[in-house]
């Protein structure tokens, strides 16, 4: 009985002291950090209930000052809005905690992923400890790109497995052109925690026009080596802000090239 009274009191107090409802019913993604602390109250002096990793989705039903009151897993708590980015609700199914829709869905029992995964990995300062032999994707089955000098200034985004070894996604600028490529993790000294991706989620996409894609999500990135004919079926991997799609496709010779295309070139 005491537990039921405590729970009822919590919800009464919550909705009594939360004046701003502008963010009600909105999904947010954790970004710009390795993991965001989720507090029991709307102050960073409150107890930390848990940490929510970058890329995870939370359901927000109230805003207060610089914090959003969210549901994640079986926890209700507060996360600083600086760590949250709104996402397209159409990409997800989500379930309100009404006592009937509880379903275990990995880390978050109220949100079920059903759309394009976002490229939202936090950039970490890094340095090369040897020459940077790179490929367009994480594995020896991907196309070779150039080998860059050890002095190349790089940032690192995440690690993943490919061809039996660990690869790191790195970003850098070389001769005034930007690149997002992959190199063996042993070549990279990262000055911060990197997200490890066990299995990259894939989805089907189609290229709607002949194009030469880019080595990153933007027109300021270098052109990728191999063009893609209109109508090609490709394997999507991530979507970046602005609608750019990272995708894999087979090129002459049997290798796979990973590159990016703007939103008006795919569906």
CATH number of the domain residue 109 falls in = 2.30.30.40
Query: Out of 109-113, 131-135, 234-238, which region has the weakest mean confidence (pLDDT)?
Result: 109-113
Q: Identify any residues that bridge with 167 across adjacent strands, giving them in sequence order.
A: 160, 184
Q: Are residues 193 and 222 in the same domain?
A: no
C-alpha distances in Å from residue 117, one per residue of 53, 108, 209, 243: 15, 16, 23, 11
Q: Are residues 175 and 233 in the same domain?
A: no
Residue the block writes with tokens 């829709």 = 101
Of the candidates 197, 226, 253, which is a domain's last residue? 197
Q: Looking at residue 90, what is its pLDDT? A: 63
CATH number at residue 186: 2.30.30
Nearest Cα residue to 217 out of 104, 119, 89, 141? 119
b/e burial code for range 71-82 (CB count within 10 A of at least 16 → b): bbbeebbbbbbe
Q: Over pLDDT 90: what percentage of the chain?
A: 40
Q: Are residues 192 and 235 in the same domain?
A: no
As for how many domains the chain has, the answer is 3
Confidence band of 4 (pLDDT split at 50, 70, 90): very low
- Residue 28 covered by a domain: yes
- Distance (Å, whole) CA 18 – CA 63: 7
Higher-confidence position of 84 and 141: 141
pTM over 0.85, yes/no:
no
- Residue 68 covered by a domain: yes
Residue 109 reports pLDDT greater than 90: no
- Distance (Å, whole) CA 234 – CA 210: 13
- Residue 1 covered by a domain: no
- Residue 11 covered by a domain: no
Q: Looking at residue 20, what is its pLDDT? A: 40
Task: Note the pLDDT tens digit of each residue in 31-74.
Answer: 877 788 998 887 778 888 888 887 778 888 777 778 888 887 66
Of the candidates 79, 113, 147, which is a domain's last residue? 113
Higher-confidence position of 196 and 142: 142
Confidence band of 21 (pLDDT split at 50, 70, 90): very low
């Amino acid at each position: 009985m005491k537990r039921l009274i405590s729970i009822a009191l919590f919800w009464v107090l919550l909705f009594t002291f939360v004046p701003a409802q502008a963010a009600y019913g909105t999904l947010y993604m954790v970004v710009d950090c390795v993991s965001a602390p989720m507090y029991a109250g709307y102050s960073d002096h409150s107890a930390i209930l848990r940490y929510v990793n970058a890329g995870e989705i939370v359901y927000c039903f109230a805003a207060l000052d610089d914090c959003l009151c969210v549901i994640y897993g079986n926890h209700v708590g507060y996360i600083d809005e600086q760590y949250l980015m709104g996402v397209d609700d159409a990409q997800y199914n989500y379930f309100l905690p009404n006592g009937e829709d509880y379903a275990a869905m990995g880390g978050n029992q109220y949100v079920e992923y059903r759309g394009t995964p976002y490229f939202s990995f936090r950039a970490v300062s890094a340095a090369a400890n040897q020459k940077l032999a790179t490929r367009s994707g994480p594995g020896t089955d991907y196309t070779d790109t150039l080998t860059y000098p050890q002095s190349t200034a790089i940032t690192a985004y995440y690690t993943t497995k490919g061809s039996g070894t660990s690869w790191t996604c790195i970003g850098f600028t070389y001769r005034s052109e930007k690149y997002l490529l992959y190199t063996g993790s042993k070549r990279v000294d990262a000055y911060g925690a990197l997200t490890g991706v066990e299995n990259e989620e894939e989805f089907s996409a189609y290229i709607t026009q002949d194009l030469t894609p880019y080595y990153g999500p933007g027109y300021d990135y270098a052109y990728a080596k191999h063009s893609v004919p209109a109508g090609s079926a490709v394997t999507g991997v991530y979507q970046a802000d602005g609608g750019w799609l990272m995708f894999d496709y087979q090129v002459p010779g049997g290798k796979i090239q990973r590159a990016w295309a703007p939103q008006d070139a795919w569906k």
